[in-house]
Amino acid sequence: MLNLLDQLGFRYYDETGEWRSPIDGTLLQKEVVFIRQDLLVPQTSRKI
C-alpha cells in the first residue's frame, strides 16, 4: 500500500489512532494520514 501511494504522489505522515477489541486487544482498525509529497511540511526525525 505504501508503494502504491508513493507512486500516486503521497507519503506517510502520521498515525492518528487505532481501534482494538475490548475482549482481547486485537487490532481492528488503524488510522494513518498521507499527504502529498509536494506539500511544504517539515520532515520528522521519526523512522517510518
pLDDT digits 0-9 by tens, 3-20: 999 999 999 889 999 999
Which of residues 5 and 1 earns the better pLDDT score?
Answer: 5
Q: Give the least confident one: 8-12, 28-32, 39-43.
A: 39-43
The tens digit of pLDDT for each residue in 18-27 reads: 999 999 999 9
For the chain, the DSSP string reads -HHHHHHTTEEEEEEEEEEE-TTT--EEEEEEEEEETTS--PPPSS--
